[in-house]
Amino acid sequence: MTLDFKMWYTLSLLIIMSILLILDIIELEVLFFSILLLLLMGKIITLEEAFAGFSNVGMLTIALLFVIAGALSNTGMLKQISPIILGKENTRISHTLLKLLFPVSIISAFINNTPVVAMFIPTIRSWTEKHHYAPSKYLIPLSYGAILGGMCTLIGTSTNLIIHGLMIDYGMEGLGFFEISKIGIPVAILGILFTSFLGHRLLPNRKEPLIELGEHTREFVIELKVTQEYENIGKTIESAGLRKLKGLFLFQIERNGRRIAPAKPDEKILLDDRLFFTGVPKTILELQKIPGLQLTKDSHFNLKQYDSAEIRTFECVVSPGSPLVGKTVRDSDFRSKYEAVIIAIHRHGERIAKKIGDISLRPGDTLLLLAGKNFYKKWYHSKDFYLIAVTEALPSKPQWRGYVSVGVFFMMIILTVANILPLLSAAGLGVIILVLTRTANAGEVRRTIDWRVLIIIAMSLGIANAVKQSGLADVLAHIIVRIGDHFGLLGILASIYFFTSIYTLVITNNAAAAMLFPIAVSAASAINADQRGFAIAIVIAASASFATPISYQTNLMVYGPGGYRFRDYLMIGAPLQLGIGAIAIALIYCFYF
């Protein structure tokens, strides 16, 4: 088989793949697998070369980092940071964005940016709704801050790890933990300043209509007691921030046996008050996480310390023939019989203004329960309940497991930076500790790993092998060298950078990095330049992708929640991408050539 056939066959498949990616008519993993099979059938690559990506150091490291980031998220350690960052109401968007984006970028430098953005999206939406701001002014900047932070260290984003693995495969020394920091940090600072002071002005001001509790909302009632730990004792309901909670309404206070209903905004909250809220299940679970607000002693349960891997929330509808009918929650001995705790109760068309323990249960009452994960299997066929459904999970762990996850995270960084262990080994050791301490169980490990991302990365590395083996990498490198040759080495470096940057707009950043890497190496070899500098250019160009929602996973994550349109990304992302490209190229040229 001639080299020309291999090259043209591979080029044709890449063109077809690119067109299908732009049209977005086939799932990404299906498309990549199809292209890989066609490359195998055309004998462009061997079976081993096609699936070598599944043993790539970078890909395996990404899988382990998913677990560590997932542990930080599931234990609630990441979520504790967000209220501190956003703070209270502030009328200056620029000031708020600076307070948000710098910490987000620092966190993203050390934790994969996908879980960081996933954690901040609901927090920002809740904060903007509370203060009547437009989430569209904050969510694209959130994604950009995470992307910019990810370019500052080896573990900041999966793209860095892919190039790290490819460099090792090509016989080069892998990236140092902070090697790209000298490029990434200046770029991140300038990108954040642009987004905070100018970029937000290019974003739309779209506010969501507030979702209020009403006659069509399935409301549950929960009772919480004010303890000494509550920081807003003595403040009014309004100043304590309990008046305009989305999906929640404080409708009654019980104080020394006296009911205060309705609970007015200027009513003060005192120690030992019992607060009666009505709301939807998820907001109820989040509400009781506030320090100083606890389930009353009737529940015999500390919801702040439960492990969501072992205990789940369920909704159960009481049947007409249930032995619970006519009994109060306290007299029913519910906890002993069902090994479950009633957190809240919903009764259609009626707001129950009694203590949870004093409520007499009726047929059709919906109970929000906290129970062991086997509750569903045990009671599903029971006549005591019409229906049992598993509700949306709210990640929770005992506090000490949160400290374990943080300790594992810092241990991994120290072992890597001090060159005691390679990153892959350090991350592997961290995962073992998380599993042995049950900070992450086997089920959580499987759930936190984004298998789709890993499969796409592995297959894109196989396609990258075809680009190299077919000779296409050398040909494309030669074309790029000729295009940039008029401006010398700087022109060639810029051509590689912007070719990668443009290709990233229509394909995932990881796949673009994998496929352009062999071309960059060939271009560097053709002009006897430092291959390392060209590899760094691929790292930055593939990550610094802001102009479309599909170019980076975090951009796509904020697309729906922010109510964005495609052009919104172009308006702010295109100038940012061009500006960062120019700065990055100049820095790479200064440091590596």
Give the count of alpha carbons within 13 A of 92, CB side only.
Answer: 7
In this model, does residue 300 exceed pLDDT 50? no
- Residue at 499: amino acid letter: F
Tell me the average pLDDT across 116-135: 75
pTM, 2 dp: 0.66
Q: What is the pLDDT of residue 487?
A: 80
Q: What is the pLDDT of residue 396?
A: 63
Is residue 198 very low, low, confident or very high in pLDDT (cuts 50, 70, 90)?
Answer: very high
Q: Tell me the Cα Rg of the chain.
A: 27
Q: What is the pLDDT of residue 212?
A: 44
Is residue 575 very low, low, confident or very high in pLDDT (cuts 50, 70, 90)?
Answer: very high
Taking only the tens place, the pLDDT of each residue in 479-528 is 887 887 778 889 889 989 988 888 787 667 877 888 889 889 888 988 88
In this model, does residue 301 exceed pLDDT 60? no
Q: What is the pLDDT of residue 216?
A: 42
Q: What percent of the chain has pLDDT over 90?
A: 17
Q: What is the pLDDT of residue 247?
A: 63
Distance CA 499, CA 505 (A): 10
Q: What is the pLDDT of residue 186?
A: 96
Averaged confidence pLDDT in the chain: 82
Q: What is the pLDDT of residue 314?
A: 84
Q: What percent of the chain has pLDDT over 70?
A: 86
Q: What is the pLDDT of residue 440?
A: 84
In this model, does residue 2 exceed pLDDT 70? no
Taking only the tens place, the pLDDT of each residue in 142-170 is 999 999 999 999 988 888 988 998 899 88
- The string over 6-26, giving b where at least 16 C-beta atoms fall within 10 Å of a residue's C-beta and e elsewhere, is bbebbeebbeebeebbeeeee
Residue 569's alpha-carbon distances to 200, 270, 378, 510, 562, in angstroms, are 11, 48, 50, 20, 11
Taking only the tens place, the pLDDT of each residue in 59-95 is 788 788 888 878 887 777 766 666 677 766 556 888 8
> Which two structure tokens, joined as six digits, stand for 551?
């170019």
Nearest CA among 55, 68, 35 for reference residue 166:
55
Element of type H or E holding 74: helix 57-74
For the chain, percent helix, then strand, then coil, each to nearest 5?
A: 55, 10, 35
Three-state secondary structure readout of 419-478? CCCCHHHHHHHHHHHHHHCCCCCHHHHHHHCCHHHHHHHHHHHHHHHHHHHCCHHHHHHH
Cα dihedral 80, 86, 87, 91 in deg (nearest 10): -170
Tell me the average pLDDT across 328-354: 77
Residue 584's alpha-carbon distances to 149, 163, 525, 547, in angstroms, are 14, 17, 21, 17
Tell me the average pLDDT across 231-260: 81
Is residue 307 very low, low, confident or very high in pLDDT (cuts 50, 70, 90)?
Answer: low
Q: What is the pLDDT of residue 288?
A: 67
Distance CA 26, CA 37 (A): 16
Q: What is the pLDDT of residue 185?
A: 96
Residue 498's alpha-carbon distances to 450, 481, 555, in angstroms, are 29, 13, 20
Tell me the average pLDDT across 559-578: 86
Q: What is the pLDDT of residue 210?
A: 44
Is residue 105 very low, low, confident or very high in pLDDT (cuts 50, 70, 90)?
Answer: very high
In this model, does residue 29 exceed pLDDT 90? no
Tell me the average pLDDT across 433-452: 83
Is residue 214 very low, low, confident or very high in pLDDT (cuts 50, 70, 90)?
Answer: very low
Q: Which residue has the higher pLDDT, 22 or 534?
A: 534
Q: What is the pLDDT of residue 151?
A: 93
Q: What is the pLDDT of residue 88?
A: 60
Distance CA 71, CA 439 (A): 7
Tell me the average pLDDT across 25-49: 86
Three-state secondary structure readout of 331-343? CCCHHHHHCEEEE
Nearest CA among 33, 18, 61 for reference residue 159:
61
Q: What is the pLDDT of residue 142?
A: 93
Which three-class secondary structure state does DSSP give residue 209?
Answer: coil
Element of type H or E holding 14: helix 3-23
Cα dihedral 83, 88, 94, 98 in deg (nearest 10): -30
Is residue 206 very low, low, confident or very high in pLDDT (cuts 50, 70, 90)?
Answer: confident
Q: What is the pLDDT of residue 270?
A: 92
Q: Which residue has the higher pLDDT, 174 or 395?
A: 174
